[in-house]
């Protein structure tokens, strides 16, 4: 049976991962990405949980280990910049690999590019489906008909908007914002140490990353501005206002954010949709179910790509059942993670000094217990 023609929209993490698995199963998918090349922004992300066996089966684990950041511990600081405690970040029991988002995207693209057609600097403008296929109109390429379309175009998915309606129907804002900016190579002295200062409603992380250290801002804005993704001046003002008066290295890191031409800024939002597919069109990765704050997005995207390709291969000619089986499998992973976001945001970013003191006391106790019960067991704290 001829393999279906599949269009994947988005070449972030989910898109190239799905392209790899489809091509392994004999398909030749097309991937359209609106950026001119793979996007390089973002901070380090953690490959963990169900993404580890997926990476292993893709044969990319050794490469990811080589690209891993050297970040080994997290130092917590109080609002004045005084050290509270240090937590180790590696674990034998639950292996995780921290790499930059750009490195992960590049490795996945390298694995996928020979088996797929990649169209950069282009995007979809319309999707019209009938019983036999989906007619796709592109901004630059000629219109084409595909058997199936996968929206792997991230949090602000155009596929989701065209097929399911506006993002606001499905977005569940956490009330938090995330922003990052790359720093000069010398900005972090010790490449094995991540430092996190927490004050009520604000957190500032100095992350060594691999080659380019990062400042990561996570905060509740006092007066949340109506969000405009393209308004960099507004993002800069929001960060400057949120971190005004904070000590330690905050003034210098805020200045780096203000001086950067296009720093990363987004409200931290989870996305909850009643269903991830309609007819021949299905959503994957953040487009289907973003999990803000946990640092799980990339791992969920990789696990989802593998599950979707596997279900399509297991049910040739029956995309409806394949989409349903993929969705129910992934919801078992994503659902509990999304439910943890609320409690975790309160734990990570207490609203008051008392809340912060309680959080820090709890962290000290946990740290002492871990050290006592098993000196080699360690814990991972994700910031997003
Ligand atoms: C530049 C960037 C920086 C990020 N930084 C962080 C970070 O610091 N920490 C973190 O935890 N997560 C970050 N993320 C999100 C993280 O990558 C995702 O949570 C996770 O990897 C899920 O991957 P995804 O492939 O579903 O979505 P994404 O990684 O967001 O990839 C989506 C891709 O689709 C493309 N795209 C979007 N719209 C269209 C369109 N209309 N047509 C064609 N292509 C389109 C985007 O350019 C992108 O390449 C970032 C994402 C991006 C794009």
Where does residue 173 rank: exposed (0-12), middle (13-18), buried (19+ CB within 10 A)? Answer: middle
Could you give the angle at the alpha carbon of 382 between the alpha carbons of 377 and 19, nearest 5°? Answer: 110
β pairing state of 124-130 and 117-120 = unpaired
Determine which residue's CA is closest to atom 18 belonging to ligand 1.
297
Distance 241 CA to ligand 1 centre (A): 26
Give bridge partners of residue 247 from the DSSP assignment.
Answer: none
Structure tokens at 103: 């490195």
Q: Which of 20, 153, 330 to mutate to test the pocket of ligand 1 (most atoms within 8 A of CB)?
A: 153
Position in ligand 1 atom list of the atom nearest CA 101: 17
Per-residue model confidence (pLDDT) at position 272:
93
Residue 77, ligand 1, Cβ within 6 A: no
Residue 217, ligand 1, Cβ within 6 A: no
Distance 310 CA to ligand 1 centre (A): 23
CB of 198 within 8 A of CB of 350? Answer: yes
Q: What are the domain boundaries of the chain?
A: 5-69+99-169+270-341, 174-269+349-383
- Residue 314 CA: distances (Å) to CA of 160, 309, 321, 326: 25, 9, 10, 11
Residues in Cβ contact with 354 at an 8 Å cutoff, skipping those fewer than 6 apart: none
Q: What is the 3-state secondary structure (H, E, C) of the chain?
A: CCCCCEEEECCCCHHHHHHHHHHHCCCCCEEEECCCCCCCCCCEEEECCCHHHHHHHHCCHHHHHHHCCCCCEEEEECCCCCEEEEEECCCCCCCCEEEEHHHHHHHHHHHHHHHCEEEECCCEEEEEEECCEEEEEECCCCCEEECEEEECCCCCCHHHHHHHCCHHHCEEEEEEEEEEEECCHHHCCCCCEEEEEEECCEEEEEECCCCCCEEEEEEECCCCCCCCCCCHHHHHHHHHHHCCCCCCCHHHHHHHHHHCCCCEEEEEEEECCCCCEECCEEECCHHHHCCCCCCCHHHHHHHHHHHHHHHHHHCCCCHHHHHHHHHHHHHHHHHHHHHHHHHHHHHHCCCCHHHHHHHHHHHHHHHHHHHHHCCCCCCCCCCC
β pairing state of 6-9 and 148-151 = parallel
Position in ligand 1 atom list of the atom nearest CA 10: 34
Residues of the chain short of pLDDT 50, as ranges, are 377-384
Per-residue model confidence (pLDDT) at position 249:
95
Determine which residue's CA is closest to atom 30 belonging to ligand 1.
154
Residue 304, ligand 1, Cβ within 6 A: no
Determine which residue's CA is closest to atom 19 belonging to ligand 1.
297
Structure tokens at 382: 């994700």
Residue 178, ligand 1, Cβ within 6 A: no
Residue 13, ligand 1, Cβ within 6 A: yes
Determine which residue's CA is closest to atom 1 belonging to ligand 1.
41
CA–CA distance, 349 with 176 (Å, rounded to integer):
9
Distance 285 CA to ligand 1 centre (A): 9
Structure tokens at 111: 């694995």
Structure tokens at 89: 């970040």
CA–CA distance, 377 with 370 (Å, rounded to integer):
7
- What predicted TM-score, i.e. pTM, was given to this entire model? 0.91
Distance 40 CA to ligand 1 centre (A): 10
Position in ligand 1 atom list of the atom nearest CA 13: 25
Residue 11, ligand 1, Cβ within 6 A: yes
Position in ligand 1 atom list of the atom nearest CA 158: 41
Per-residue model confidence (pLDDT) at position 11:
98
Q: Which CATH number applies to 5-69+99-169+270-341?
A: 3.50.50.60
* Segment 331-384, tens digit of pLDDT: 999 999 999 988 888 888 999 999 898 888 887 887 777 666 655 544 433 332
Q: Which of 12, 289, 293 to mutate to test the pocket of ligand 1 (most atoms within 8 A of CB)?
A: 12
For residue 34, which of 162, 149, 120 has the smallest C-alpha distance? 120
Residue 14, ligand 1, Cβ within 6 A: yes
Position in ligand 1 atom list of the atom nearest CA 285: 26
């Amino acid at each position: 049976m001829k393999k279906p023609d599949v269009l994947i929209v988005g070449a972030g993490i989910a898109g190239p991962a799905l392209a790899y698995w489809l091509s392994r199963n004999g398909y030749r998918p097309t991937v359209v990405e609106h950026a001119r090349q793979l996007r390089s922004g973002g901070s380090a992300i953690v490959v963990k949980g169900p993404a580890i066996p997926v990476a292993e089966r893709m044969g990319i684990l050794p490469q990811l280990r080589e690209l891993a950041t050297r970040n080994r511990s997290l130092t917590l600081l109080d609002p004045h910049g005084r050290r509270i405690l240090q937590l180790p970040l590696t674990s034998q029991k639950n292996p995780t690999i921290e790499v930059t988002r750009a490195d992960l995207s590049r490795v996945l693209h390298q694995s996928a590019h020979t088996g797929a057609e990649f169209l950069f600097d282009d995007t979809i403008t319309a999707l019209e489906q009938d019983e036999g296929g989906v007619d796709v109109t592109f901004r630059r390429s000629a219109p084409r008909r595909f058997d199936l379309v996968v929206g792997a175009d991230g949090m602000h998915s155009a596929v989701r908007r065209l097929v399911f309606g506006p993002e606001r129907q499905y977005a569940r804002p956490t009330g938090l914002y995330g922003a990052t900016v790359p720093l000069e190579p010398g900005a972090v002295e010790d490449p094995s140490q991540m430092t996190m200062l927490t004050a009520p409603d604000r957190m500032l992380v100095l992350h060594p990353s691999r080659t380019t250290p990062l400042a990561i801002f996570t905060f509740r804005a006092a007066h949340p501005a109506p969000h405009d993704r393209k308004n960099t001046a507004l993002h800069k003002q929001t960060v400057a206002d949120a971190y005004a008066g904070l000590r330690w290295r905050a003034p210098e890191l805020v200045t780096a954010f203000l001086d950067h031409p296009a720093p990363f800024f987004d409200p931290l939002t989870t996305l909850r949709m009643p269903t991830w597919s309609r007819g021949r069109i299905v959503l994957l990765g953040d487009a289907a179910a973003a999990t803000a704050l946990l640092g799980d997005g990339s791992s969920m995207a990789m696990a989802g790509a593998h599950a979707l390709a596997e279900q399509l291969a297991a049910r040739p000619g029956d995309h409806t059942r394949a989409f349903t089986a993929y969705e129910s499998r992934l919801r078992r992973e994503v659902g509990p993670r999304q439910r943890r976001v609320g409690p975790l945001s309160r734990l990570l970013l207490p609203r008051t000094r008392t809340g912060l003191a309680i959080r820090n006391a709890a962290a000290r106790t946990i740290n002492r217990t871990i050290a006592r019960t098993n000196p080699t067991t360690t814990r991972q704290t994700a910031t997003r």
